[in-house]
Structure 1
Amino acid sequence: MTELAAVWQELYARPDFWGFISIPIVAAVVTWGHVWMAIQMVFYPIDFVGLLPPLLGWQGIIPRKAEKMAGIVVDKTLSKLGSVGDFLTQMNPELIAAYVANAIERRIEEIVDEVMEEHNKVLWQNLPRMVRSRVYNHVREKLPDVMLEMMMEIMAEVDNLVDLRAMVVRQMAADRGLMVRMFREVGSKEFKFIVNISFWIGLGFGFVQMGLFYFVPAHWLLPLYAAVLGLVTNWVALAMVFRPLNPVKLGPWKIQGVFLKRQVEVAEKFAELSANEILTIGRITREIITGKHAARTRLIVKRHLMPILESPVARATMQVALGAEAYAAMRTTVADKSADLALDPMEDERFNKDRAKVLQGKLAERIRALSSAEFQDMLRPAFQEDEWILLVLGAVTGLAAGTAQLLLGFQ
């Protein structure tokens, strides 16, 4: 006790006493502040703010690299969970195909009128109702079964019709906020942990800094210590999220990266977002019909629809109404419109949510089965490539704080 009292008296007698004993508190507060700022800079702003992109200004790391991040999500995660065909299989392709066929059947007259009027509106509208009804009834009789067969073939071929990576990358490029929300929601507890633990890490390193300054009291070293502290605390905080990769027994405790410990919980959230935002029936259908393999899709559509349009009933009625040349052009129009018409029922919000529930459960099950190394790739790529920015930010902020502390408390 006598020795402690003597040390206290020595410290109290220092002219820079208040500055000296404030080192750990300042370190803790500054560390918390720059770690919080670093996390915000990962996500925000979503759009570039500044004068001269990308030099004079800032855009969040994730929205700035949304396309690249989306590619990583597909390569490291979604591709390991299954193909587009696998996802559709989980959502019951027979039910999906029947849903589309029924939705189109309800609009038969509207569809036929639209196609026929596009080629000869006056003649079609002036045909007797009985003649038009023959066309409606013929199409109504044949189309549902044909559409069902067509949709089943498209879904069987879906892996050749959909480029999953291109689909997701294009979606994220168009909605950078979705990628931000995805990473924030999946890693919400980890980001809170990083910010909260940074105060205590900063406090601990602050005592180390105080000890170093006590034995080497060169004032110019204070900003240097603070800069190193800022860099190291950011590195430690990030490392604690992903390391150790597998559980390590330390006495009565098991230690593992905090993100990895939450694999079961994260699986549910990632599966929910993927099923409801990315792998929806509507988005997959849009890619099938309008994506880079759309021409192949339309060939399948034409192959199924041509027998209806070339049947004796259709040919006799439609050629009379349109003429041979317009009838030939109309067949191509019908095939193109039929492909586009499949989009409407597939983008029904209630239907998408209903199918998403089925897929969500299957995705969560597969994510829970991932190894620790595969699982960490769901979030780790958001930091890895640009981690140095966060470390440099910690060092620069620490340097500035150390300089300010030197000027205010050590004169």
Structure 2
Amino acid sequence: MAILDDFAAHWQIYLSMPVIAAVIGYLTKRAAIEMMFRPVRFIGLREPWLGWQGVVPRNSERMIRTSADLLTSRLVDTNEIFLRLDAERVAKEIEGPLLIAVDEIMRDVMETYRPGLWELMPPLAQEMLVKQAQASSPQLVKRVMAEIRENIGEVLDIRQVAVGALTRDKALLIKLIRDISRPEMAFIARCGIYFGFVLGLVQTAVWAITKDPWVLPVFGAIIGWFTDWLAIKLVFFPRRPKRFGPLRLHGVFQRRRDEVAKQYAEIVARDVMTVPNIVDAVLRGPRSDLLLTMIRRVIETTIDEQAGAAKPVIAVAVGADTYVEMKHAAADRALRYLPDTMLHAKDYATDALDIRDTIATRMRRLTRVEYEGLLRPAFRQDEWKLIAVGAVIGAVIGELQVLLLLH
């Protein structure tokens, strides 16, 4: 009876308790979500204890390695995707800039090594020599493509492409994780409201019975801790749908596999495994020396073939040593033009490689544990810190409630 009388006298306070508990649940979840991604750089007095850095940025190196390993071991087969490129189509796509490059290279080399001879030649004769060199360019492209395709496993480290792109721009990793986990983050925040309200009802009953000032901060801490812990678990577990009477549970992230596959593949194809990044890795990456040597040999062989029967005459006219120097110079200049020239086939190569659909299709074939690895590493290592912060915030809000009630 005393409890009912107290409720009648202070019904506003009793009714506010589960509402405040729901607010605690929501605020602690929002805090946990923001602490996942912010700040990007450490803020505080002494790393790692006296301050904070977002979980994802702080663990970016480990997460980059995890993402790159998954991409290269399960989602992208370098040899397979490069077989999709048609050398003739590539030659056609880059035909315009390629002809311009050949023209500039031919004139540059001749003016550098035999300026007098080149200037004495009639413009028509100069044009004929340039046209002859240009005529061989499609065949040269096919040979270069054949060299790349045959040796792609040796000259391209696709893992390094992924690591390089994500390391150069850590904001890209944050965007990748944040975009694919946006519904999960919203789910966590909603869970804080529902679970907090239910625990708030229990808190209200305990307060009515005991009137102990410790009830509110303790329950606030429990609400913050338990709702954080449960919400994070429900993102990933259970991995398979399970029914508990009328209730059907399935980890939110596992349930969204098809949607996540499309999102992840879109971001990776657009920002990570792009044609410019791949071309840069092939022609400028740590394994590029081997390929550039092969390409230089192909270019010099093509020059010799174009010289044909006239090669001995040319060698006599300009000197054997000069001819070799001119050939090397032409090859060097061609290699400098190669990256920008190849990028004119970017649109075709993007469609032909079809990295987006390849990744999306193979993601659907991952085991549940492998698929979980896309997002789980973002939580696992520092999960306890997020939960602890939720408990602290809940306790502080609970103590503020006590101060308001008693004063």
TM range (shorter): 0.7 to 0.9
The one of 99, 113, 119 equivalent to 1:126 is 119
Aligned partners of 2:84 and 2:352 also within 8 Å = no
Q: Say yes or no: does 1:174 pair with 2:168.
A: yes
Q: Say yes or no: does 1:267 pair with 2:268.
A: no
Q: Say yes or no: does 1:234 pair with 2:223.
A: no
Aligned position for 2:386? 390
Aligned position for 1:301? 295
Q: Say yes or no: does 1:24 pair with 2:9.
A: no
CA RMSD of aligned residues (A): 3.2
Q: Report percent identity of matched pairs.
A: 28
Aligned position for 2:75? 81
Aligned position for 1:71? 65
After the TM superposition, which segments of 4 or more aligned residues of structure 1 sit over 6 Å from their partners? none
CA distance in 2, matches of 1:297, 1:173: 25
Aligned partners of 1:91 and 1:355 also within 8 Å = no
* C-alpha spacing 1:181/1:333, structure 2 compared with 1 (3 Å): farther
The one of 344, 351, 364 equivalent to 2:347 is 351
CA distance in 1, matches of 2:324, 2:347: 36
1:30 is displaced (CA, Å) by: 1.9
State how many pairs are aligned: 404
Query: CA deviation digits over 1:344-387, x for unaligned, max 9?
Result: 24445961685278332232222122222222112112211221
The one of 364, 367, 370 equivalent to 1:368 is 364
CA distance in 2, matches of 1:176, 1:24: 40
Q: Say yes or no: does 1:218 pair with 2:212.
A: yes
The 10-residue stretch of structure 1 (154-163 or 306-315) with the greater mean CA deviation from structure 2? 306-315
* C-alpha spacing 1:111/1:408, structure 2 compared with 1 (3 Å): farther
The 10-residue stretch of structure 1 (344-353 or 399-408) with the greater mean CA deviation from structure 2? 344-353
Q: Which runs of 5+ in 2 are unaligned?
A: none
**SS of equivalent residue, structure 1 residue 22:** helix
**SS of equivalent residue, structure 1 residue 342:** helix
CA distance in 1, matches of 2:210, 2:278: 64
TM alignment of 1:328-347, pairs within 5 A: 328-347=324-343
The one of 155, 159, 171 equivalent to 1:165 is 159
Query: CA deviation digits over 1:329-350, x for unaligned, max 9?
Result: 4444443443443322444596
Aligned position for 1:404? 400
Aligned partners of 1:194 and 1:237 also within 8 Å = yes
What one-letter code is carried by the residue in structure 1 that aligns with 2:359?
L
Q: Which runs of 5+ in 1 are unaligned?
A: none
The 10-residue stretch of structure 1 (320-329 or 304-313) with the greater mean CA deviation from structure 2? 320-329
The one of 174, 186, 189 equivalent to 1:192 is 186
* C-alpha spacing 1:26/1:327, structure 2 compared with 1 (3 Å): farther
1:121 is displaced (CA, Å) by: 8.5
CA distance in 2, matches of 1:144, 1:356: 19
CA distance in 1, matches of 2:170, 2:109: 38
The 10-residue stretch of structure 1 (171-180 or 62-71) with the greater mean CA deviation from structure 2? 62-71
The two structures have a TM-score, normalised by structure 2, of 0.86
1:398 is displaced (CA, Å) by: 1.3
**SS of equivalent residue, structure 1 residue 249:** strand
Aligned position for 1:147? 141
Query: CA deviation digits over 1:68-92, x for unaligned, max 9?
Result: 2221112234521132223334565
